[in-house]
Chain A
């Protein structure tokens, strides 16, 4: 062990063998960004094909592989690991811990991700092509009719699940066990709270996903009949198991984003967060409810009416705690001394657009209405409002907010704001029209469409290209900051910022809080 005030090792071994939460956080963040680019490239292919009606660029079979891989890569490769990276960087610094609770396992959780995605992306080059059954991989498309590469898909899901489970166990142990003296639960920053609850969700549902893919594997290779009615099973069983994982999964994606926004808005409103306690309870309520609403994705499979009603009312209930959160954010800003630096802009964008996504969610939760909306572009619009303008916007906000603390350099505010506005505009041009084509009946996951949808689809594609291009600007801005940004050594980058992470030096030293601070 020796001396404790040492810096990082030199060269590649630093990254391969590290046990340092900041190194691991950095790797997670870069990895997730590269997946964001990869998934984005798939999306560009989708939007290019949909630019005009008719088949222009790709084969329908390849189009299906693109929608599938786009969804999988974005959910499991871009969004989830990016928040895990953020958790790694920030949670120990926010609660005054020297590192994550189980540092070697932490490194392992990260390192199994890249090869798993290599295998997943590698299926593109396999005989029969990549998985083509959508990111929700419904049986029997993903069993009876799947390409052989499905087996590799199944095992990569297993590995991703393992990574998430270990990562969450680490977060739970860190938060429950490593808080500095005086850092009681109800003093924890909201980002820590939302991640703690997210980690519980992950430990609870990733194993269920593992169960679902295991049943698929057995059906495909070993003759079981979980998802085959001929043997007494049921394809709809797959959907139940998948969505028992899948709905909590969407909250796994959005809760850390809620946490980020709850950190940033008070900073730039220069007021403490309104209703801290109710934020914590609302988060817990959302997490609890997320376990009993899964079948709102299955209104059209022919459930008994009692089921439809139960899941409809339970789903609507989620709007209550979500409303509490939106109310609290808005009230935090009320009469605040507001400024609009880039992180704040992204949070405001989040607030407006996520709320729109919440409302479309509410529309979708009405079972009889959903009979019309289901599997249309309206659903695509809904979940891109919550996942892109929700999770991804908040992630951009987080990067701008903490980047100066991470690397001791200030990003270019002009470029940051430009990034925001292009993203915001591009995003809305891309996804707002999808509400209309969806309501008018355009189905999702289809490479061609009827002529009356042509104009809106062209708009959508143009918006998507704009949004995609703005991410290159983001990358450039971040790299330029790290390499040549204006150095800053102020501990508190933002005058309104609160929290332990702003008490350590800037850039944050390799090891922080080796002796815990005393929180009053």
Chain B
């Protein structure tokens, strides 16, 4: 069935033994174990400190240091010419499917949002096939989105709640939706959209520069992209501050607060990750002189990630803020 053919085959680089995986495991497990302990101390603990913060930070530090070393090594290997065209394609595939998995993660949260808005809300208010229990459970609850008044409050608070439930879910004064802002130019999400969309554009310009072999253009436009990313994060932080300090909108504000903060929060977290990735590429280019017109996967992967984060934002803007 087969014959050996070694003609003009570029060797696929299979790395030697490596300590990276074990170190990354130690870091990951300690940080997740630490995080779980921190949360349990907070929610179920008696106030005694168990050193869980220490475990968490140590694990996180160890993990980050390992990842740093890992990427460093991958970059070195590439610069040493070990990576065949085939291996590079493996990296491309890896990055693509990683981003796909991230898309599915967001889909879970968007799915929750759609389900709540189109089905749960009306049912709780007694509409449709799912609404038959309204008079027993949430009499007087009216559904609207955003949801300023939770079912719990509609029946007069925790004490009047016919079924046991965890937590108190308070109302808020103002949502983040379009039209609730004092003036259109004070509506932060619009500025955020402008900032993030332009950053997708600038990163594209940087890429064009690199493809032309114009490193100066690349460095400048990539720098601008990172700066725009930082601006976005700052604006987002400002929005959160406003929500908590002035609007009374918190994680406790019922399902509107839950979906709002989780969707924008995870998106913001991904922006920070993408920005860090781009910043590292920028440093590599400016300080280390990395990247040529035909070899710049580190940058390309980061920029795909950035576009992905951008697309997620477009959906957020549409479904969380506008509609």
- Residues of A at the B interface (CB closer than 8 Å) are 1, 9, 13-14, 16-19, 96-99, 101-105, 107-108, 110-112, 115-116, 119, 140, 143-144, 148, 151-152, 154-156, 158-159, 162, 165, 168-170, 172-174, 176-178, 180-181, 203-208, 210-212, 214-215, 217-226, 228-234, 237, 240-241, 244, 302, 304-305, 498, 500, 503, 511, 514-520
- Whether A231 touches B167, Cβ cut-off 8 Å, given contacts A112-B28, A211-B109, is yes
Which residues of chain B are within 8 angstroms of A231 by Cβ–Cβ distance? 150-152, 165, 167, 169, 254-255, 258
A215–B2 Cα distance when bound, in Å, is 52
Q: Is B90 an interface residue (CB 8 A)?
A: yes
Closest to B250 in A: A223
B185 interface residue (CB < 8 Å to A) = no
Main secondary structure of the interface of B (DSSP, over half): helix
Given A108-B25, A207-B105, A207-B108, CB of A102 within 8 Å of CB of B5: no
Known: A151-B39, A211-B105. A112 touches B25 (CB 8 A): yes
Q: Is the CB of A13 within 8 A of B17?
A: yes
Scan B1-39; emit 1 where CB is below 8 A from any A CB, else 0: 111111001011111111111101100110011011001
Answer yes or no: B147 CB below 8 A from chain A CBs. Answer: yes
Question: B194 on the interface (CB 8 Å rule)?
Answer: no
Task: Report yes or no: B17 in contact with A229, Cβ–Cβ below 8 A.
Answer: no
Complex CA gap A176/B105 in Å reads 24
For this complex, 26 residue pairs linking A to B, each with C-beta atoms less than 8 Å apart, are A98-B12, A112-B28, A115-B29, A169-B101, A173-B97, A176-B93, A177-B89, A177-B90, A207-B104, A207-B107, A218-B258, A221-B39, A225-B169, A225-B255, A231-B152, A231-B165, A232-B256, A234-B124, A237-B115, A237-B116, A240-B111, A244-B111, A515-B6, A518-B5, A519-B2, A520-B2
Does B163 touch A at the CB level, under 8 Å? yes
Given known pairs A208-B108, A211-B108, the reply for A232 and B147 (CB within 8 Å) is yes
* CB atoms of A208 and B107 under 8 A apart: yes
| B residues 74-111 in Cβ contact with A at 8 Å | 82, 86-87, 89-91, 93-94, 97-98, 100-102, 104-105, 107-109, 111
A98 to B107, CA, bound (A): 36
Contact assessment for B112 and A116 in the assembled complex, using a CB-CB cutoff below 8 Å: no
From A173, which residue of chain B is reached at the shortest CB distance? B93
Interface flag for B236 (CB, 8 Å): no
**Closest-CB distance, B251 to chain A (whole angstroms):** 5
B251-A223 in contact (CB<8A): yes
Does B322 count as interface, using CB distance less than 8 angstroms? no
Query: A222–B251 contact, CB under 8 A?
Result: yes
A503 touches B15 (CB 8 A): no
> Would B90 and A102 count as touching, CB distance under 8 A?
yes
Given contacts A19-B15, A144-B164, A232-B256, contact A225 B129 (CB under 8 A): no
Chain A binding site: helix, strand, loop or mixed by DSSP? Answer: helix
B119 CB to nearest A CB, Å: 8
Specify which of B5, B6, B138, B261 lies most central, judged by the most chain A CB atoms within 10 Å of its CB. B5
If A224-B257, A241-B108 touch, whether A230 touches B161 (CB-CB below 8 Å) is yes
Q: Which residues of B contact A17 (CB under 8 A)?
A: 17-19, 21-22
**9-residue interface stretch from B40-48, B223-231, B284-292, B306-314:** B40-48
Contact B36 A223 (CB under 8 A): no
| Closest partner residue, chain B, to A240 (CB atom) | B115
Would you give the shortest CB distance from A177 to chain B, in whole angstroms?
A: 5
**Is there contact, CB below 8 Å, between A230 and B169?**
yes
A221 touching B28 in the complex, CB below 8 Å, given contacts A181-B5, A230-B165, A240-B115:
no
Interface members, chain B 258-283 (any A CB < 8 Å): 258-259, 261-262
Q: Is B220 part of the binding interface, using a Cβ–Cβ cutoff of 8 Å?
A: no
Contact A228 B167 (CB under 8 A): yes
Q: Assuming A230-B167, A302-B129, what are 7 further A-B pairs, CB within 8 angstroms?
A: A13-B17, A174-B90, A226-B259, A232-B121, A234-B116, A234-B124, A503-B1
Docked Cα-Cα span, A19 to B104, in Å, equals 29
Residues of B within 8 A of A112 (CB): 25, 28-29
